[in-house]
Chains A and B, each alone.
Chain A
Amino acid sequence: MPDVLTAPLVVEFPFTRSLGPVLSAFLTGLRERVVLGIRTRDGRVLVPPAEYDPVTGEDLHALVRTAATGTVTTWAWNPAPRRGQPLATPFAWVLVRLDGADTALLHALDAPGPEAVRTGLRVRVRWAARRTGAITDIACFEPCPPGTDAPAGPAVPHDGVFPDPVTILTTPARLDYTYTPGRALGRHLAALADRRITGERCPSCHKVYVPPRGACPTCAVATGEQVEVGPRGTVTTFCVVNIKARNLTIDVPYVYAHIALDGAGLALHGRIAGIPCDQVRMGLRVEPVWTGDARHPDHYRPTGEPDAAYDTYKELL
């Protein structure tokens, strides 16, 4: 078995979220060291506040202010914090029912060890020094010092109005994958390093897949027979790209084409250069151009052969 090719694939976007009136008030409140909940028609106080009653589905509007102290309702010790978690040192994940609330908030509790944490523990908010209107404005919870652990009173109505409210959040999301192209594509990539383009033939329909995926999606059988295709091919269809794409260094305009390499059962995609954009046409005969030590052809250029007849490639658009 040859070496299996793998590489990291990181997918990361800074998604944004409009908050709507309820969450805007909640997060702006945190910035001002105010914890807001919301009261349901049957009198329960939800913290964090929900826009809609999770039981009845009704709209909720009655914001209330709760205390910044509360009681641990359950917990789990986290001995090895990971990137992005609230504390860098070991801590407890806790559900805290704030005084005046009927539901519990998930957050981190700074404690010296699991022996210092118990259900029923009285805790209080430790505010972050720099607050922006986010759940991280609560840096974490910490145990109430002895003598300061008396429960606060019930929640009181609050209009939720603050100057300069936070209305939108940026919430980066990141996924770390290990990508493995697999055996079929791995063989294709290895051949490319020798500047050969290979595919695999389906034993049933005899079509040659380039690049190969190890199986024919039409016949649902494994493909194994290695076939070298091209290097010349035919432009079957194309477009002229006039807007610059993110993360691409290619200057516009450029031609993005479907190219049926000689012997291939379907077209692959490539860029056409070495000819003005407005002279590229369906049926143009092209060949790959490799530059430097890049694995893939940088582009395809005209061979100078006569154009292919439409009937020879009309099934390969």
Chain B
Amino acid sequence: MNGREPVAVVGIGQTHHAAARRDVSLPGLVREAARRALDDAELTWADVDAVVIGKAPDFFEGVMMPELYLADALGAAGKPVLRVHTAGSVGGSTALVATSLVAARVQRTVLALAFEKQSESNAMWGLSLPVPFQQPLLAGAGGFFAPHVRAYIRRTGAPADIGVLVAHKDRRNALRNPYAHLHEHGLTLAQVRSSPMLWDPIRYSETCPSSDGACALVLTDRAGAARSPRPPAWVHGGAMRSEPTLFAGKDFVSPRAGRDCAAEVYRQAGITDPRREIDTAELYVPFSWYEPMWLENLGFAAEGEGWRLTASGATALGGELPVNPSGGVLSTNPIGASGLIRFAEAALQVRGEAGAHQVEGAAKALGHAYGGGAQFFSMWLVGSRPPTG
């Protein structure tokens, strides 16, 4: 990678995500994830050279300067501390900013952390402000996304049941992940199918929950990786792309920024056939139908064919390309942290440390995040072996 320092993930920490963590303050919540990441890496606060924080948009929980508010809890005194802000994709961008600090040899060991306490937020309405002269019509996040799902179904001719399959799969995967928020034991396909239609064509069980949680990663250089007590995950590629929220010609079903971002990650990582070369993917799927949509956008399936991959069972645990073995955003959604959780879960897989939701032999995994009405994308590809070249 042109003289860049190879970057390794040596510590991963998450909170047990839940609907409400009333027992801890925001500093207490982020501390829990950061502490677990340090423990995983067998490092102390003093071993961290810089801290990068990501969170959801300010009015979600009313914290305007998390870099100031949370510095003590993250042991940041005397160190650079940065805040990253890219809406729902922020967790991924946070990991990539931290990665770039190590890759550029600016810092040797960096703590990346993202969080959200939805129980103390106004995520639903913090983005639907009463702007003067505009007609209030918004119907919440689901109302924003549901027309795009309908457009996908029309464009591809997908059977109506695909979203139900995804929701059922991800909720079942979550049963294997002790950190997941939703543990819906005994959930059946019929129950998902008969759950209330909130924003037709999106059913209640096809939507993500509101969660409290935080996630942290310790990223380090080659020397740091050599000291790691557990196998590191190596960053083979990482990229961010953005595009306007609305413009003439925008493709909400398969946004160009997403395609371009994936292409750049694959170029860096030397991936030419993502479906064959990537063993598992953690994709940001807040509404079930986004799984087939992203499978196409990210090049795992040809245009119009993503739903076939889902329907074939290939994306289930044990399938050819398990997608969201952790249970994904459909099972855990502390918005500001959700992207970083995708990146962390991808890293857990290639380290062989994913426990009951481990994809056997996973050597390359994709972590994906998006946000801001398909405005921001961030992705990384991690591997069990150091990048070559």
State whether the Cβ of B308 lies closer than 8 Å to any Cβ in chain A: no
State the majority secondary structure of interface residues on B.
loop
Among A52-60, A92-100, A114-122, A150-158, the one that faces the other chain is A52-60
What's the minimum C-beta distance from B35 to chain A, rounded to whole angstroms? 9
Chain A residues near B250 (CB-CB < 8 A): 266
Q: How far is the CA of A241 from the CA of B199 in the complex (A)?
A: 5
Interface digits, A251-265 against B, CB 8 Å rule (1 contact, 0 not)?
001001110000001
Chain A hits for B72, CB < 8 A: 50-54, 57
Chain A 143-170 per-residue mask, 1 if CB under 8 angstroms from chain B, else 0: 0000000000000000000000001100
Residues on the A chain within 8 Å of B117, using CB: 18
Q: Nearest chain-A residue to B201 (Cβ)?
A: A239
Residue on A with the closest CB to B196?
A: A242
- Is A247 a contact of B247 with CB atoms below 8 Å? no
Question: How does the 8 Å CB contact mask read for B110-141 relative to A, with 1 for contact and 0 for none?
Answer: 00000001011110111001111111111110
* Chain B residues within 8 Å of A171, by CB: 62
A23 x B25 contact (CB < 8 A):
yes
Taking the complex as formed, is B198 at the interface, i.e. its CB lies under 8 A from any CB of chain A?
yes
How many A-B residue pairs have C-beta atoms within 8 angstroms? Tell me: 173
Given contacts A173-B62, A266-B248, contact A18 B22 (CB under 8 A): yes
- A18, B73: Cβ atoms closer than 8 Å: no
The 10 closest A-B pairs by CB, nearest first: A57-B75, A239-B146, A20-B25, A7-B132, A265-B248, A207-B248, A240-B200, A15-B62, A57-B45, A296-B135
Task: Report the Cα distance A282→B120, complex, angstroms.
Answer: 38
Interface size on B, residues (CB 8 A): 66
User: Do A269 and B137 contact each other (CB < 8 Å), given the known contacts A217-B244, A242-B196, A317-B252?
Assistant: yes
6 A-B pairs within 8 Å (CB atoms) are namely A9-B129, A13-B59, A16-B120, A179-B132, A271-B137, A317-B253
CA distance A257 to B150 in the complex (A): 11
Q: Is the CB of B131 within 8 A of A51?
A: no
B17 contacts the other chain (Cβ, under 8 Å)? no
The reply to whether B24 and A238 form a contact with Cβ atoms under 8 Å apart is: no
Question: Is there a chain A Cβ closer than 8 Å to B26's Cβ?
Answer: yes
Main secondary structure of the interface of A (DSSP, over half): mixed
Is B147 a contact partner of A237 (Cβ separation < 8 A)?
yes
Residues of A within 8 A of B248 (CB): 202, 205, 207-209, 216, 218, 265-266
Interface residues of A in 259-281 (CB under 8 A from B): 265-266, 269-271
Nearest CB to that of B212 among chain A residues?
Answer: A18
A239 contacts B155, CB within 8 Å? no
Q: Which residues of A contact B136 (CB under 8 A)?
A: 247-248
The reply to whether the CB of B351 lies closer than 8 angstroms to some CB of chain A is no
Inter-chain CA distance A315–B201, complex, in Å, is 21
A130 within 8 A of B: no
Q: Is A245 an interface residue (CB 8 A)?
A: yes
Bound: A20/B71 CA distance, A? 17
Does B189 belong to the interface (CB within 8 Å)?
no
In the complex, how many angstroms separate the beta carbon of A212 from the nearest chain B beta carbon?
11
Is A80 in the interface zone, CB < 8 Å from B? no
Q: How far is the CB of B150 from chain A (nearest CB, A)?
A: 5
